[in-house]
Chain A
Amino acid sequence: MSPPSAASVAGTHAGDARPDVRRTPEIGRSTPELRERLQRIWETKPGLYGWLATVDHKEIGIRYIVTAFVMLVIGGIEALIMRVQLASPEQTLLSPQQYNMLFSTHGVTMIFLYTSPILSGFSNYLWPLLFGSRDMAFPRLNALSYWIYLAAGIFMYAGVFVGAGPNDGWFNYVPYAQFRYDPGLNIDFYSLGMIFLGVSTSVGAANFIVTLLRMRAPGMSINRLPIIIWGTATASFANLLIVPAVSLAFFLLWLDRQFHTQFFQVPGGGQPLLWQHLFWMFGHPWVYAIVLPAMGMVSDGLPVFCRRPLVGYAPVALATVATMLLGFGVWVHHMFATGLPGLSLAFFSAASILIAVPSAISVFSWIATIWLGRPVITAAFLFFSSTIVLFVIGGVSGFMTASVPADWELTDTYFVVAHLHYVLLGINVFPVMGATHFWFPKITGRMMDERLGRWSFWTTFIGFNVAFLPMHLTGLWGMPRRVYTYPVDMGLGPINMVSTVGSFLLAIGFLLFFINVIRSRTRGAVAGDNPWDAYTLEWSTSSPPPPYNFAVIPTVASRHMLWEDQLGEPDERSNLEEGFILDHGKEALATTALDAEPQRILHMPEDTIIPLLLAAGMLVLFSGMLVRNLPIAGVGALICAADLIAWFWPRASLLERGPAHG
């Protein structure tokens, strides 16, 4: 072997000057020829293979959104059946076992298979467009996160279909979740399914974090980021750290159930409360992870319809981070009744009350934006502005349960059911519906029907409030949660009937919304690039955007790139006409973390079936674990191992290895 050259000892290599190692990117303008060339480089190949192998963040984002909406509908149907059972006292439409499976599966479906993936979908679609970038940092990982989500959802619902859906509530307390009390496969489907799904969440979080730090257009410093970026980024940092808690909890439970370990089993010295700590250390930050990105949607969309920038950008951005940070310190408020020492209760109670402060910042910011702007009433605006009202109602019921003595009465009653639905629909579903109206033109090139949109809004809004506002009173009148029926002489019949009627009205509202979405894809009015006269970068592309997003990489000079002329600021304007061309293959630009200065030219991966195969291998692995069949699990593990080796095999096209020696 030849001795090291002086150059290689010094840390540089003669080859560093080669154009495939170092290059000054060409600067130019978008031409039809350039666009055609980029189109050929970036487009997903047609046909089944292309559909299965695509790594295009836009296609992946749309899949996430569609799948999540399907889950929303399924979870909604489960809820309607429950509401029929609860409409009057002592009904026997459902057996207790059936009801318990329904309420648990409803919770799991909504909280894990809808609220997070829907936001991942919108974020996946939008982030590179908002950043002025060509794709996410890890396109193959992006595809993987979707395929795992789909596979884990199918895995869990396979359990539902064979009558073994989760049946101990979505937070699945032990000891009831132990084999001794729940011997069917219900909890095994749930446990393994959640570990499986957790991988999707974690890799998705990693992708968002690295994309945020590396893939922004030049000039997009962190104070120029749309609030949805702040929201999703905060959620992603949190998810990376908290998902292992719940995955571990479910894994330990599965071991207790199947292998007689003693993690949570009292006779062996296990601690039932360990489950609750691990679960809620995940669970509380999680509920912020599923609303902060949606709050970002409101913070970015509302200003467009108020014809002015958001009031208090910096406080809102920082409040987003503060909410999540505080959110790590309040998990015990889900355990106030478990007999913890008074000092600990006092601390967590105070923290849980004061966490209202950063949330209030966003609320006041939104109100001020409407008040000091010139609001234009569109369906999107209605959904975004109603979020403010629903957020506050959900927030105050949370404030009430944050006080320990009050919580000792309120917890585990319908008051909490009211609270959680106001925060989940109010700060996730309503913003998502607004976001759908807002970004539908960009995604599909067509406008949603405004009139139907307004009808769907009012039906949904009224239906939701008729269903859930009374539940505060239902709870104060003492109706406990998670009961398949209630006695005649509790005085709870009429109010439950009202909620049931409201829930069906809510369902009609959703139906109208989905009809609007489906019809508008083919019959909506053609949208231009920027039908709303909005101000962020995605509105500078065509509707829908080309596969490469931007023919030339923009240079960003402010937070409101498309409003700069009208706002008369800043002194140096953003440049969307001329910039880096990056067409020597499938290329993207990486920039520095804080100031977004150009740092590296990236070679991006082509479409590949490897992520799908890995998800399939994992499905085989988890199925083998579920039925405790070592050969099946082994085959699954081998598929995963082989796939990962193929994935990580250094490729010359991605510049992961040196050129072939002569």
Chain B
Amino acid sequence: MHPLGYLSGSGAQTASVVPLMWFMLIVSILVCVIITGLVLWAVLTKRTAVGHRSLRKIALEHSEGVNWIWIGLAISIVPLLVSVFWTVAVLAKTGTVPPAPLTIDITAKRWWWDAQYRDGVTGGEFRVANEIHIPVGRPVLLHLRSADVIHSFWVPKLAGKTDVIPGQVNAMWLEADAPGRYRGQCGEFCGAQHAHMAFFVIADPPQQFAAWERQQMLPASTPASAEATAGLAFFNQRCGRCHSVRGTPAHGSFGPDLTHLMSRETIAAGMLQNNPASLSGWVENAQTVKPGALMPNQQISGPDLTVLRAYLETLR
């Protein structure tokens, strides 16, 4: 219903934070109701007149009343102090990185997310864009870097935001309790398409995650059909300076890695479904879809677009 909502969560981090947030929310609502009630009661029961022409003499028998301030304050301090202590406790808990995490290097760029996985054992590595798979029930340590301006990595149902700041590496950890496709969103204004800088964290059961990793580790297969081969040639010539596909000469790092493009459900940082129509539209006229994006309109002729699409379809 609300993919970015955080009144409930599915992660180890949110498990600590959500109860604290609900406590503060309920206290807050209660305070508002009580105060509004007090003001309404005071006004409705104590009012003497309406309109300035009926200003009465001042209340001569005015009582001091200052003690009510201290009573109100004493009552208010209790939830405040509880919040302070609970906050510090949650901070300590969420700040400690659990042992043996999977480490992923995230680089935030205008207006998409690059994720680099390294296999500690084999030394192999691969890059994906915007769709970050993690294993369920295992802690994941994220190293956050920015290639340009300040962004913020935020997947609400799993953890709170951590800003991504150029010149420093911020680290955060998260862990999914249940399998699922969790939406993320950049949480710091970063320019024209900040609104469309989404991403997904997909929590897979361990075997499924291992299988996904193995698949991603493979280079792109050589295209079989003539059409796709023509498309590959076109791709290397036109797209290779910004995009990379392992197993081909294309190794541009400005834009997303496309080696397993078709394994993603969305493109353009969560903006479009990854289907043939959207993909063509995006490749041809990125500026119409996402004005200001750093992918220029391509002006590709019809035949070229057909072969290119045929090639992209093979990047599973």
Partner pick for A400 among B24, B36, B76, B154, CB 8 A cutoff: B24
Q: How far is the CB of B16 from chain A (nearest CB, A)?
A: 7
Known: A337-B163, A356-B80, A392-B31. A96 touches B87 (CB 8 A): no
**B163 and A339 within 8 A (CB):** yes
B291 at the interface (CB under 8 A from A): yes
B100 at the interface (CB under 8 A from A): no
Q: How far is the CB of B147 from chain A (nearest CB, A)?
A: 11
Bound CA–CA A400/B86 (angstroms)? 12
**A377 and B195 within 8 A (CB):** no
Q: In A333-381, which residues have CB < 8 Å from any B CB?
A: 337-339, 342, 345-346, 349-350, 353-354, 356-357, 360-361, 363-365, 367-378
**B42 and A375 within 8 A (CB):** yes
A266 at the interface (CB under 8 A from B): yes
Chain A residues whose CB sits within 8 angstroms of the CB of B68 once the complex forms: 311, 364, 367-368, 371
Chain B residues whose CB sits within 8 angstroms of the CB of A478 once the complex forms: 2-6, 156, 185
B214 at the interface (CB under 8 A from A): no
Bound CA–CA A173/B189 (angstroms)? 9
A594 at the interface (CB under 8 A from B): no
Q: How far is the CB of B97 from chain A (nearest CB, A)?
A: 12
Partner pick for B187 among A356, A412, A567, CB 8 A cutoff: A412
Please choose the segment from A321-329, A401-409, A627-635 that sits at the chain B interface, where 4 or more of its residues have CB less than 8 A away. A401-409
Q: In B160-199, which residues have CB < 8 Å from any A CB?
A: 160-163, 165-168, 170-171, 185-195, 198
Chain B residues whose CB sits within 8 angstroms of the CB of A605 once the complex forms: none
The chain B residue sitting closest to A173, CB to CB, is: B150
Q: In B55-73, which residues have CB < 8 Å from any A CB?
A: 55-60, 62-66, 68-69, 72-73
Known: A339-B165, A353-B80. A377 touches B47 (CB 8 A): yes
Please choose the segment from B88-96, B202-210, B218-226, B305-313 that sits at the chain A interface, where 4 or more of its residues have CB less than 8 A away. B88-96
A293 at the interface (CB under 8 A from B): no
**B162 and A339 within 8 A (CB):** yes
**B192 and A97 within 8 A (CB):** yes
B49 at the interface (CB under 8 A from A): yes
B84 at the interface (CB under 8 A from A): yes
A272 at the interface (CB under 8 A from B): yes
**B83 and A476 within 8 A (CB):** no
Bound CA–CA A644/B203 (angstroms)? 68
The chain B residue sitting closest to A168, CB to CB, is: B189
Main secondary structure of the interface of A (DSSP, over half): helix
**B166 and A350 within 8 A (CB):** no
Please choose the segment from A233-241, A484-492, A542-550, A583-591 that sits at the chain B interface, where 4 or more of its residues have CB less than 8 A away. A484-492
Partner pick for A376 among B27, B56, B152, B292, CB 8 A cutoff: B56
Bound CA–CA A579/B162 (angstroms)? 65
Chain B residues whose CB sits within 8 angstroms of the CB of A399 once the complex forms: 24, 28, 80, 83
Chain B residues whose CB sits within 8 angstroms of the CB of A411 once the complex forms: 161, 187
Chain A residues whose CB sits within 8 angstroms of the CB of B165 once the complex forms: 272-273, 338-339
**A400 and B189 within 8 A (CB):** no
Q: How far is the CB of B266 from chain A (nearest CB, A)?
A: 11
Bound CA–CA A604/B99 (angstroms)? 74
Chain B residues whose CB sits within 8 angstroms of the CB of A270 once the complex forms: 167
**A480 and B186 within 8 A (CB):** yes
**A477 and B5 within 8 A (CB):** yes
Bound CA–CA A365/B72 (angstroms)? 10
**B63 and A372 within 8 A (CB):** yes
Q: How far is the CB of B187 from chain A (nearest CB, A)?
A: 4
Q: How far is the CB of B45 from chain A (nearest CB, A)?
A: 9
Partner pick for A405 among B87, B148, B150, B198, CB 8 A cutoff: B87
**A374 and B46 within 8 A (CB):** yes
**A-B contact list, 8 entries, CB within 8 Å:** A95-B291, A306-B59, A312-B66, A360-B72, A367-B38, A389-B35, A405-B21, A406-B87
